[in-house]
Structure 1
Amino acid sequence: MEQKTIAEIRRLITPPAGIEDVLTAFLLLLDYPPDDVNGWNKCQTIMSRSGDKSVMTKVSRFDPLYCSPKKAQKSADMIAPYTLEIIRNKNLHAAKIYEWTKSMIEQVKVSGGLQI
């Protein structure tokens, strides 16, 4: 995933239906607290951060072995109503995020993720 993808999504003033769910699922998977990703404005704020807490840093450091299956399932449930085609028809950048999120959820399931 590229920084451009995050930047383009962040610029959306009002995202098309489903895009906020995809972004929320993505950010939850990256271990942002649910209260921090509750609503589009909060998601935009997170995507605007730089440095060690940036979204791209978390993407590059994401390891499915350290993600809880419960968190992965919550993200999976959020994006379950959507297919890649549905999201792609709404926004190509959101489709990239959808693909990454779906792929990482599957990797968490396959690996067993973090067992607490």
Structure 2
Amino acid sequence: MHRICICIFMDKKKFATLKSLAAPPTVVADVMKAFLLLVYQPEDIQYCTLSTAQKAEDLIAAETEESIKVKCFDAVYVYKWTTSMVENVKASGGRKA
């Protein structure tokens, strides 16, 4: 299910843009770290633990769509997806550790 959700927000061109950044700004790196924390789950993302969702949220807590857009427009899509998934995990209670 989470792969379908990613496809809605992301396409190969956006990922290619992010991948092509030799030295991404810290904000972009943090967004990608938060995204990867959620994506690399043994089960569906919505069933990751609350602590994993919290770690992802903490990485991007100080950012907004605008602060990210200034650094890399395509990272905004990853940010939106990540914040949406964090909210879903929090609402569901997450997987019990």
Q: Which residue of 2 aligns with 1:3?
A: 12
Q: Counterpart of 1:15?
A: 24
The corresponding residue for 2:7 is none
Flag structure 1 segments of 5+ consecutive residues without an equivalent. 33-60
What TM-score results when the alignment is normalised by the length of structure 1?
0.69
**Residue 84 (str. 1) matches residue 93 (str. 2):** no
Cα offsets for 1:38-87 (capped at 9, x unmatched): xxxxxxxxxxxxxxxxxxxxxxx8441x2111100000000011111100
Q: How far apart, in 1, do the equivalents of 2:87 and 2:39 lie?
A: 14
Q: Distance in 1 between matches of 2:60 and 2:36?
A: 12
2:33 maps to which residue? 24
The answer as to whether partners of 2:38 and 2:45 remain within 8 angstroms in 1 is no
Q: 1:91 to 1:62 in 2, by over 3 A?
A: farther
Count matched residues: 88
Separation of aligned partners in 2, 1:112 and 1:81? 23
Partners of 2:71 and 2:14 lie apart in 1 by 14
Runs of 4+ with deviation above 3 angstroms: none
Q: Distance in 2 between matches of 1:71 and 1:91?
A: 25
Q: Extract unaligned runs of 5+ from structure 2.
A: 1-9
Distance 2:26 2:35 in 1: 16
- The C-alpha deviation readout for 1:20-48, integer Å capped at 9, x for no partner, is 1111111111127xxxxxxxxxxxxxxxx
TM-score normalized by structure 2? 0.81
